[in-house]
Amino acid sequence: MTTPTFASLSAPAGGAAGSGAAERRPMLTLALSKGRIFEETLPLLAAAGIVVTEDPEKTRKLILATNQPDVRVVLVRATDVPTYVQHGGADLGVAGKDVLIEHAAENEGAGGLYQPLDLQIAKCRMSVAVRADFDYEAAVKQGSRIRVATKYVAVARQHFADKGVHVDLIKLYGSMELAPLTGLADAIVDLVSTGSTLKANKLVEVERIMEISSRLVVNQAALKLKRERIRTLIAAFAGAMNTTS
Protein backbone atom coordinates (compact mmCIF):
# COMPACT_ATOMS: atom_id res chain seq x y z
CA MET A 1 0.00 0.00 0.00
CA THR A 2 1.30 3.47 -0.86
CA THR A 3 1.04 6.55 1.26
CA PRO A 4 -0.25 9.60 -0.60
CA THR A 5 2.32 12.36 -0.90
CA PHE A 6 1.60 16.03 -1.12
CA ALA A 7 4.57 16.97 -3.20
CA SER A 8 2.34 18.91 -5.55
CA LEU A 9 1.15 21.13 -2.71
CA SER A 10 4.63 22.07 -1.53
CA ALA A 11 6.23 22.38 -4.95
CA PRO A 12 7.62 25.83 -5.81
CA ALA A 13 5.13 28.01 -7.67
CA GLY A 14 7.08 27.70 -10.90
CA GLY A 15 7.56 23.98 -10.64
CA ALA A 16 5.68 21.05 -11.98
CA ALA A 17 2.51 20.07 -10.18
CA GLY A 18 -0.11 17.41 -10.73
CA SER A 19 -0.42 14.78 -13.40
CA GLY A 20 -0.34 17.19 -16.36
CA ALA A 21 3.11 18.36 -15.28
CA ALA A 22 4.85 17.12 -18.38
CA GLU A 23 2.95 19.48 -20.71
CA ARG A 24 2.70 22.42 -18.33
CA ARG A 25 4.45 25.57 -19.50
CA PRO A 26 6.91 27.41 -17.28
CA MET A 27 5.47 30.11 -15.04
CA LEU A 28 5.19 33.62 -16.46
CA THR A 29 5.72 36.19 -13.69
CA LEU A 30 4.52 39.79 -14.00
CA ALA A 31 5.74 42.46 -11.54
CA LEU A 32 3.26 45.22 -10.70
CA SER A 33 3.05 47.91 -8.03
CA LYS A 34 -0.12 48.37 -6.02
CA GLY A 35 -2.35 51.33 -6.73
CA ARG A 36 -2.84 53.05 -10.06
CA ILE A 37 -0.46 50.87 -12.06
CA PHE A 38 -2.12 47.67 -10.81
CA GLU A 39 -5.63 49.07 -11.41
CA GLU A 40 -4.84 50.38 -14.88
CA THR A 41 -3.05 47.20 -15.95
CA LEU A 42 -6.05 44.97 -15.12
CA PRO A 43 -8.05 45.84 -18.27
CA LEU A 44 -4.96 45.15 -20.43
CA LEU A 45 -4.50 41.76 -18.75
CA ALA A 46 -8.19 41.00 -19.29
CA ALA A 47 -7.68 41.61 -23.01
CA ALA A 48 -5.02 38.89 -22.89
CA GLY A 49 -7.48 36.57 -21.09
CA ILE A 50 -5.72 36.98 -17.74
CA VAL A 51 -7.76 37.72 -14.62
CA VAL A 52 -6.04 38.30 -11.27
CA THR A 53 -8.06 36.27 -8.79
CA GLU A 54 -7.06 38.12 -5.62
CA ASP A 55 -7.43 41.76 -4.58
CA PRO A 56 -4.10 43.26 -3.47
CA GLU A 57 -5.95 45.66 -1.16
CA LYS A 58 -7.56 42.75 0.69
CA THR A 59 -4.71 40.28 1.03
CA ARG A 60 -1.25 40.39 2.55
CA LYS A 61 0.03 38.02 -0.10
CA LEU A 62 2.77 39.33 -2.35
CA ILE A 63 2.27 36.69 -5.04
CA LEU A 64 -1.17 36.73 -6.63
CA ALA A 65 -2.62 33.90 -8.66
CA THR A 66 -4.51 34.42 -11.90
CA ASN A 67 -7.14 32.38 -13.74
CA GLN A 68 -4.25 30.88 -15.70
CA PRO A 69 -2.21 28.37 -13.70
CA ASP A 70 1.03 29.40 -15.40
CA VAL A 71 0.68 33.18 -14.97
CA ARG A 72 1.19 34.99 -11.67
CA VAL A 73 1.57 38.57 -10.46
CA VAL A 74 4.17 39.68 -7.91
CA LEU A 75 3.53 42.91 -6.00
CA VAL A 76 6.61 45.09 -5.56
CA ARG A 77 7.34 48.74 -4.84
CA ALA A 78 7.07 50.89 -7.98
CA THR A 79 10.79 51.65 -7.88
CA ASP A 80 11.67 47.96 -7.55
CA VAL A 81 9.85 46.83 -10.73
CA PRO A 82 12.83 47.45 -13.11
CA THR A 83 15.18 45.66 -10.69
CA TYR A 84 12.95 42.56 -10.54
CA VAL A 85 12.61 42.41 -14.30
CA GLN A 86 16.25 43.19 -15.09
CA HIS A 87 17.51 40.41 -12.84
CA GLY A 88 14.86 37.86 -13.75
CA GLY A 89 12.81 37.93 -10.51
CA ALA A 90 9.95 38.63 -12.91
CA ASP A 91 9.67 38.06 -16.66
CA LEU A 92 7.71 41.25 -17.24
CA GLY A 93 6.62 44.34 -15.38
CA VAL A 94 4.91 47.68 -15.68
CA ALA A 95 6.86 50.78 -14.62
CA GLY A 96 6.58 54.55 -15.02
CA LYS A 97 8.97 56.42 -17.30
CA ASP A 98 10.08 58.34 -14.18
CA VAL A 99 11.13 55.12 -12.46
CA LEU A 100 12.79 53.74 -15.60
CA ILE A 101 14.92 56.85 -16.16
CA GLU A 102 16.13 56.88 -12.56
CA HIS A 103 16.78 53.13 -12.63
CA ALA A 104 18.87 53.43 -15.82
CA ALA A 105 20.86 56.34 -14.32
CA GLU A 106 21.65 54.31 -11.20
CA ASN A 107 22.46 51.09 -13.07
CA GLU A 108 24.60 52.21 -16.01
CA GLY A 109 21.85 51.91 -18.56
CA ALA A 110 20.10 48.85 -17.09
CA GLY A 111 21.08 46.29 -19.73
CA GLY A 112 18.78 43.30 -20.07
CA LEU A 113 15.61 45.36 -19.80
CA TYR A 114 13.58 45.52 -22.99
CA GLN A 115 10.83 48.19 -23.30
CA PRO A 116 8.52 47.09 -26.11
CA LEU A 117 5.43 49.16 -25.37
CA ASP A 118 4.31 52.47 -23.90
CA LEU A 119 1.02 51.42 -22.28
CA GLN A 120 -0.27 55.00 -21.97
CA ILE A 121 -1.47 54.35 -18.43
CA ALA A 122 -0.72 56.14 -15.10
CA LYS A 123 -0.20 59.33 -17.07
CA CYS A 124 1.12 62.43 -15.39
CA ARG A 125 3.96 64.92 -15.89
CA MET A 126 7.23 65.71 -14.18
CA SER A 127 7.30 69.37 -13.14
CA VAL A 128 9.13 72.00 -11.14
CA ALA A 129 7.06 73.55 -8.35
CA VAL A 130 7.81 76.30 -5.83
CA ARG A 131 6.14 78.15 -3.00
CA ALA A 132 3.82 80.86 -4.30
CA ASP A 133 6.07 83.56 -2.78
CA PHE A 134 9.27 82.28 -4.44
CA ASP A 135 10.09 84.11 -7.67
CA TYR A 136 11.48 81.23 -9.74
CA GLU A 137 11.90 83.23 -12.96
CA ALA A 138 13.89 85.92 -11.16
CA ALA A 139 16.10 83.34 -9.44
CA VAL A 140 16.83 81.69 -12.80
CA LYS A 141 17.54 85.06 -14.51
CA GLN A 142 19.85 86.19 -11.72
CA GLY A 143 21.78 82.95 -11.93
CA SER A 144 21.16 82.19 -8.25
CA ARG A 145 21.88 78.73 -6.87
CA ILE A 146 18.56 77.00 -6.36
CA ARG A 147 18.01 74.27 -3.78
CA VAL A 148 15.88 71.54 -5.34
CA ALA A 149 14.40 68.62 -3.40
CA THR A 150 13.36 65.54 -5.38
CA LYS A 151 13.12 61.79 -5.62
CA TYR A 152 14.03 62.12 -9.32
CA VAL A 153 17.65 63.29 -9.16
CA ALA A 154 18.66 62.09 -12.63
CA VAL A 155 15.79 63.91 -14.36
CA ALA A 156 16.31 67.03 -12.23
CA ARG A 157 20.07 67.12 -12.79
CA GLN A 158 19.64 66.85 -16.56
CA HIS A 159 16.86 69.42 -16.68
CA PHE A 160 18.75 72.13 -14.81
CA ALA A 161 22.02 71.36 -16.60
CA ASP A 162 20.20 71.87 -19.94
CA LYS A 163 18.92 75.23 -18.70
CA GLY A 164 22.32 76.23 -17.34
CA VAL A 165 20.88 76.69 -13.86
CA HIS A 166 23.03 75.86 -10.85
CA VAL A 167 21.25 73.66 -8.35
CA ASP A 168 21.91 71.89 -5.08
CA LEU A 169 19.96 68.66 -5.33
CA ILE A 170 18.50 67.19 -2.16
CA LYS A 171 17.40 63.57 -2.51
CA LEU A 172 14.09 62.69 -0.83
CA TYR A 173 12.10 59.45 -0.87
CA GLY A 174 8.61 60.91 -0.48
CA SER A 175 6.40 63.91 0.35
CA MET A 176 8.44 66.34 -1.72
CA GLU A 177 5.75 69.01 -1.17
CA LEU A 178 6.93 69.47 2.37
CA ALA A 179 10.44 70.60 1.42
CA PRO A 180 9.65 74.17 0.26
CA LEU A 181 7.21 74.64 3.14
CA THR A 182 9.83 73.88 5.76
CA GLY A 183 12.72 75.76 4.14
CA LEU A 184 14.54 72.56 3.18
CA ALA A 185 14.46 73.60 -0.48
CA ASP A 186 13.40 76.44 -2.81
CA ALA A 187 11.84 74.14 -5.37
CA ILE A 188 10.81 70.53 -5.96
CA VAL A 189 10.78 68.27 -9.00
CA ASP A 190 7.79 65.96 -8.67
CA LEU A 191 5.01 64.20 -10.54
CA VAL A 192 1.83 66.19 -11.11
CA SER A 193 -1.47 64.98 -12.53
CA THR A 194 -4.39 67.16 -11.46
CA GLY A 195 -2.30 69.61 -9.44
CA SER A 196 -4.53 69.25 -6.40
CA THR A 197 -1.72 68.07 -4.10
CA LEU A 198 0.36 71.11 -5.06
CA LYS A 199 -2.62 73.38 -4.53
CA ALA A 200 -3.40 71.88 -1.12
CA ASN A 201 0.16 72.71 -0.09
CA LYS A 202 0.15 76.21 -1.64
CA LEU A 203 2.74 75.32 -4.26
CA VAL A 204 2.69 76.41 -7.89
CA GLU A 205 3.87 74.52 -10.94
CA VAL A 206 6.39 76.74 -12.74
CA GLU A 207 7.83 74.41 -15.37
CA ARG A 208 6.83 71.17 -17.09
CA ILE A 209 9.83 68.90 -17.66
CA MET A 210 8.32 65.87 -19.41
CA GLU A 211 5.17 63.81 -19.90
CA ILE A 212 5.14 60.51 -18.00
CA SER A 213 3.32 57.25 -18.66
CA SER A 214 3.94 53.63 -17.77
CA ARG A 215 5.67 51.13 -20.01
CA LEU A 216 5.81 47.38 -20.29
CA VAL A 217 9.29 46.10 -19.47
CA VAL A 218 10.52 42.62 -20.32
CA ASN A 219 13.53 40.59 -19.21
CA GLN A 220 15.61 39.94 -22.32
CA ALA A 221 16.39 36.31 -21.47
CA ALA A 222 12.68 35.66 -20.82
CA LEU A 223 11.86 37.22 -24.16
CA LYS A 224 14.02 34.57 -25.82
CA LEU A 225 12.89 31.61 -23.70
CA LYS A 226 9.17 32.46 -23.59
CA ARG A 227 9.01 34.32 -26.86
CA GLU A 228 5.61 33.22 -28.16
CA ARG A 229 3.73 33.83 -24.91
CA ILE A 230 5.34 37.21 -24.39
CA ARG A 231 4.66 38.25 -27.98
CA THR A 232 1.03 37.18 -27.62
CA LEU A 233 0.75 39.22 -24.43
CA ILE A 234 2.33 42.30 -26.04
CA ALA A 235 -0.05 42.00 -29.00
CA ALA A 236 -3.09 41.70 -26.69
CA PHE A 237 -1.97 44.73 -24.65
CA ALA A 238 -1.39 46.76 -27.81
CA GLY A 239 -4.80 45.76 -29.16
CA ALA A 240 -6.55 46.70 -25.91
CA MET A 241 -4.86 50.11 -25.91
CA ASN A 242 -6.18 50.83 -29.38
CA THR A 243 -9.75 50.07 -28.38
CA THR A 244 -9.74 51.93 -25.04
CA SER A 245 -7.98 55.15 -26.06
Q: Which residues are near ligand ATP by CB under 6 A?
A: 33, 35-37, 77-78, 96, 98-99, 122-124, 174, 191, 193, 212, 214
> Closest-CB residue for ligand ATP?
96
Q: Report CA-CA distances (Å) from 14 to 8, 10, 17, 63.
A: 11, 11, 9, 12
Residue 47 or residue 99: which is nearer to ligand ATP going by CB? 99
- Give the whole-angstrom CA distance, residue 80 versus residue 68: 25
Nearest distance from C-beta of residue 74 to ligand ATP, angstroms: 14
Nearest distance from C-beta of residue 129 to ligand ATP, angstroms: 13
Q: Report CA-CA distances (Å) from 33 to 11, 136, 192, 209.
A: 26, 34, 19, 24
Residue 122 or residue 128: which is nearer to ligand ATP going by CB? 122
Angle formed at CA 74 by CA 119 and CA 123, multiple of 5 degrees = 25
Nearest distance from C-beta of residue 55 to ligand ATP, angstroms: 16
Residue 187 or residue 212: which is nearer to ligand ATP going by CB? 212
Residue 96 or residue 180: which is nearer to ligand ATP going by CB? 96
Nearest distance from C-beta of residue 99 to ligand ATP, angstroms: 5
Residue 61 or residue 77: which is nearer to ligand ATP going by CB? 77
Nearest distance from C-beta of residue 87 to ligand ATP, angstroms: 19
Backbone phi, then psi, for 81, in 5-degree steps?
-55, -50
CB atoms within 10 A of CB 231: 12
Nearest distance from C-beta of residue 96 to ligand ATP, angstroms: 2
The DSSP letter of residue 157 is H
CB atoms within 10 A of CB 25: 12
- Give the whole-angstrom CA distance, residue 173 versus residue 79: 11
Residue 96 or residue 165: which is nearer to ligand ATP going by CB? 96
- Give the whole-angstrom CA distance, residue 22 versus residue 82: 32
- Give the whole-angstrom CA distance, residue 101 versus residue 36: 19
Start-end of H helices in 32-93: 36-47, 81-86
Nearest distance from C-beta of residue 194 to ligand ATP, angstroms: 7
Residue 78 or residue 169: which is nearer to ligand ATP going by CB? 78
